[in-house]
Amino acid sequence: MKLIPSNNKLFTEVVTLLHSAKSQVLRTVNQTMVMTYFEIGRMLIEEEQGGEERAKYGKETIKGLSKVLTREFGKGFSVTNLKQMRNFYLVYGKGQTASADFLKKGQAVSAYLEQHNSKTQLSKTKSQKEHRFLLSWSHYLKLMRIDNLSERQFYEIESRKNNWSVRELNRQYDSALYTRLVLSRDKAEVQELSKKGHILEKPKDVIKDPYILEFLGLPELPNYSENDLEQEIINKLEHFLLELGNGFTFVARQKRISLDDTHFRIDLVFYNRILKCFVLIDLKIGELKHQDLGQMQMYVNYYDRELRLEDENKTIGIVLCQNKRESVVEYTLPENNEQIFASKYQTILPSKEELKSIIDKEENTI
């Protein structure tokens, strides 16, 4: 019997099909579970409606239901977990579209999914709008603790778009990603964040201030060199790319450019596939100086004139520094500047006091 070669196209296609099927099964199971928890939460809320006496009865019902479900299905249905399902419905119930309407009519989750899947074939855009729960239950346990609706919607969209793990969602939330993006946008653009997530349309959309680099493991005090900072970024490049945002790919470190008989080195070079442009980053320990911005302007000019292709957009330059004076940035760069930016970085997560200060600043400026 002749064996089919191991590199046969059929082998590859079957393996790919099975991986795809496995992923689809996991997504379907996950969505069914989350929708089931939502439905349980709805039932518990309805049980508690009808006055204070009924609410007390509802609390006793949760305890009894926990015993029954634990005996029937095992772990996962403690009183605490059932209360989380109840809270899940309280948080997301008002914002539901067609999916909530189906559930409120008492349809089973399986019937909902069957109807939803048939709609998927008719209108992908419409079904995406209706199908709200596309993340894991662990994601929603984190998300429903975010009180601000716009902020919660932003993190939900970004988790889905970027395939964030729960750990990465926690990290982005702890580093106040939403607040940092809000600070650089006007009111209309802030509303877009909650509807579409972080969309890159112009160079300024790339910028965060500050950048949070706590994953590098460096202390806050300036007892390390720029080389140390650069090396740790390279060592943890995957984390740094996540902090930079959507569409970034790494190109080079210490990229040498030569002007006459003088050589210069750009610390880090990236390319953003969405904006279709190079992004140059220079790292500075301590206070930002006007010479740092001038040097970055030279790097950007060189890339635009010598390396940029005709179908690519103008190069972006970012100087990452520990501290900066806005007046230095304002008067060093031209008024119509759209290419050179200066942002602070922190090597530890912001404290509660720092986050409060950022939020207070946001409320006063938007």
Q: For 270-293, write each residue's pLDDT tens digit.
A: 999 999 999 999 998 888 899 999
Alpha helices in 289-341 (DSSP H): 290-302, 326-332
**pLDDT given for residue 254 in this prediction:** 93
Q: Per the structure block, which two tokens stand in for 15?
A: 């393996």
80: its two tokens:
């605490």
pLDDT at residue 276, as a whole number? 93
User: Would you tell me the crossing angle of helices 79-92 and 52-73 to the nearest 10 degrees?
Assistant: 120
Task: For residues 158 and 141, give the distance between their C-alpha atoms in angstroms, rounded to a whole number.
Answer: 16
| pLDDT class of 194 with cuts at 50, 70, 90 | confident
pLDDT at site 5: 55
Mean per-residue pLDDT for 313-335? Answer: 90
Instruction: Single out the residue of 112, 23, 40, 45 nearest to residue 76, CA to CA.
Output: 40
Per residue in 338-356, pLDDT (tens digit) is: 899 999 888 877 766 666 6
Q: Please give the pLDDT value at position 23.
A: 75
Q: Measure the CA–CA gap between 347 and 214, rounded to whole angstroms.
A: 4
Mean pLDDT of 255-280: 92
pLDDT value at residue 21: 84
Average pLDDT over residues 179-194: 73
For 22-76, the pLDDT digits (tens) are 877 877 888 889 999 999 998 888 877 755 555 565 677 888 899 999 988 888 8
In this prediction, residue 220 carries a pLDDT of 60
The answer to whether the beta carbons of residues 41 and 87 sit under 8 Å apart is yes
DSSP letter at 11 equals H
Q: What percent of the chain has pLDDT over 70?
A: 77
Express each pLDDT in 5-33 by its tens digit. Answer: 556 778 788 888 888 888 778 778 888 89
Mean pLDDT of all residues belonging to the chain:
79
Each residue's pLDDT tens digit, 288-320: 899 999 999 999 999 999 999 999 999 999 999
- Is there a contact between 93 and 43 (Cβ–Cβ < 8 Å)? no
Between CA 10 and CA 281 the distance in angstroms is 46
Res 344: pLDDT = 87
Beta pairing class for 277-287 and 262-272: antiparallel
pLDDT of residue 50: 58
pLDDT at 364: 55
- Looking at residue 38, its pLDDT comes to 93
Q: Look at residue 83 and tell me whether its pLDDT is greater than 80.
A: yes
Q: What is the 3-state composition of the chain as percent helix, strand, coil, each rounded to the nearest 5?
A: 60, 15, 30
Q: What is the 8-class DSSP label of residue 8?
A: -
The answer to whether the CB of 99 falls within 8 A of the CB of 132 is: yes
Tell me the pLDDT tens digit for each residue of 85-141: 999 999 988 654 334 433 443 344 444 444 444 443 433 334 333 447 889 999 999
The pLDDT score that the predictor gives to residue 260 is 86
In sequence order, which residues have a C-beta less than 8 Å from that of residue 351 and are 6 or more positions away? Answer: none
Q: Dig out the tokens for 279 from the structure.
A: 């992004």
